[in-house]
A and B are shown apart, each in its own frame.
Chain A
Amino acid sequence: MPPLLEVKGLHTEFRTGAGRVPAVDGISFAVEQGETVAIVGESGSGKSVSALSILRLVADPPGRITSGQIVFDGKDLLSLSEAEMRQIRGRDIGMVFQEPMTSLNPVLTIGRQITEVLEAHQGADRAAADKRALELLELVGIADGPRRLRQYPHQLSGGMRQRVMIAVALACSPKLIIADEPTTALDVTIQAQILELMKSLTLRLNVALIVITHNLGVVARYAHRVNVMYAGRIVESGPADAIYHDPRHPYTIALLKSVPRLDQPRRARLDPVEGQPPDLTRLDGGCAFRPRCRFAVEQCAQSIPSLAASGEAGHLAACFRSAELGAARDVAA
């Protein structure tokens, strides 16, 4: 069976005063039915733009998808008309954004924001939509539904608003939900509640989930597969366990080393990734991580390494020395 979503060679760029910014620079990945895939990276690595590109929500101008294919459920999303695309957004692909205060409409009641989706996509009448909205609130764990439906976003707490966002995303029983930093703005106990909710619902309803985050802990807890992004490219991709226990790209290795662990006493000084994140307007023909990389060799300046198999099946890394990195660790261990 083909995967639910397949992204092939996606390029998205922004034209700015400072020059052309290749925010997403040829990424390819797939999401299977019911699977949770994480896209991890730091600010400016292109993870959010990738998500917006899948939904074709990149503002043009200044942004533009310049090439690539996004095959969702057998359809190439990039060849659809805007009207056809609008049918897919919210119906087949749900969205959950980071900031629930700014992504909900402040002048519409909670109830209206949910029923609007149902009326637009399923032609539901008002009564049926109201009934379904109540069910959805219950599904996402909001008690006192009838009262909440009449309230406005500002009357709800951050965690509650994010639950509403999830209810809206789930309203039309989508096959895929894209969640962009869904819990970053929330406190840690609320973050845990929301993530557990998303996990149990995606499992129960067999919805695939793309979760975009910078939090390596969240990825470890929830993702089946992980794509690590740096400077607009996927530098490593594979099953979560392989990424954490057998990382094959120097950036992933450095990232994992730089986070302190809550479950272990302090051992030594942190081992940070030295240097600054790259300026995307000034990339050259070599590997973008090269200036910060401990393993860089001459070859890294000459061409950009492409994603290639390394380690176990389904594990890919974009580094000329990835095989060596794996072997070195085997010797060390």
Chain B
Amino acid sequence: MHFPVSEGVVLSRKIGDVKAVDGVDFTIGRGETLGLVGESGCGKTTTGRCILRLETPTAGQILFDGQDISHMGRKDLVGLRRRMQVIFQDPYSSLNPRMKVGDIIGEPIKVHGVEPDVRKRDARVRELLSVCGLDPKFADRYPHEMSGGQRQRVGIARALALDPEFIVCDEAVSALDVSIQAQIVNLLEDLRERFNLTYLFIAHDLSVVRHLCQRVAVMYLGRIVEMAAVDELFDNPLHPYTQALLAAVPIPDPRVEATRDFRPAPGEVPSPINPPSGCVFHPRCPKAVENCKRARPVLRELRPGHWVACSEVN
């Protein structure tokens, strides 16, 4: 997915592209949860938005249940959206403050004409609320009357309203307090089991990803640099960026922290408007050699199911 960058206000002309997502390949099995991790600007959210077709990718294919949806027209998308939904990060800004909770959750049911009968729709809304651990009487409340955790439950109930098969969770627990975050993580797990859901779990909090996902892909500046089964990735990270990322996360145990040898990766994520040549991580990489500046490494399967885009690891 490339976004055009323009110059000038009235007569604008295109001066380049932001390669927000730059040649990304992965699959998600039915019932699986894939974690997509990386820092701000790495393209993880854009990847999610492309899959949901909230963006149209500039090149490449997105196959959903065998069907190429990457350039599907508006009409066909309506049917698709019943099958794929999204839970957003911020439960404060992703709920309409002027709508009652019941109307927020009932709206997709109404829009898609699933249940024209108002009374049955209300019953469905109340059921969804209790599935998500909220009292059905919350249907008459407004979002501002609820806490952050309760609002996120409303966002989840809305995503479930159409019985989707696939849900993109875009930083779905990041804005929540620690004690509430665990409640929502458990809820997402219960729902996955109960409704046989498939998740794309986009997050920057690696410990939540380790807990919730079966496989993980690590992104850096629009590219996937490493992908593996969850324990393999966290126990044997091979890409220097993944290693730096894992080392940077402090562990909530002072005894463990005291034994860790820790040197943070130098520098900052470069601008995606003008990314480094070759391997995009080379300016910050402790293992970089001359060749890394020239050749863009491909994602190779170094061990069964463990993919790495680095020419210096074997």
Contact = CB atoms under 8 A, between A and B. Distances in A.
Contacts of B94: none
Contacts of A274: 183
B10 interface: no
Interface residues on B, range: 35 or more
Interface residues of A, number: 45
A187 B269 contact: yes
Contacts of A245: 253-255
Contacts of A220: 250-254, 256-257
A195 B269 CA distance: 18
Contacts of A192: 247-248, 250, 262, 264-265
B210 interface: yes
A240 B181 contact: no
Nearest to B40: A187
A107 to B, nearest CB: 22
Given A187-B269, A196-B264, A220-B257, A262 B249 contact: yes
A316 B264 CA distance: 34
Contacts of B299: none
Contacts of B177: 42-43, 214, 277
Interface string A137-164: 0000000000000000000010110000
Contact of B179 (A221, A241, A272): A272
A160 B268 CA distance: 9
Given A215-B250, A220-B253, A262 B206 contact: yes
B248 A188 contact: yes
A219 interface: yes
Nearest to B210: A262
Contacts of B189: 269
A218 interface: yes
A88 interface: no
A215 B249 CA distance: 10
A195 B234 CA distance: 23
Interface stretch (A71-79, A128-136, A167-175, A252-260): A252-260
Given A42-B179, A272-B186, A263 B256 contact: yes
Contact of A217 (B185, B247, B249, B255): B249
Contacts of B264: 189, 192-193, 196
6 contacts: A190-B39, A191-B248, A192-B262, A192-B264, A270-B185, A272-B179
Given A259-B182, A271-B182, 5 more contacts: A188-B248, A190-B39, A215-B250, A217-B250, A256-B252
Cβ-closest 5 pairs across A and B: A217-B250, A272-B182, A273-B179, A260-B211, A192-B248
Interface of B: 39-40, 147-150, 177-183, 185-186, 189, 204, 206-208, 210-211, 230-231, 234-235, 244-257, 262, 264-266, 268-269
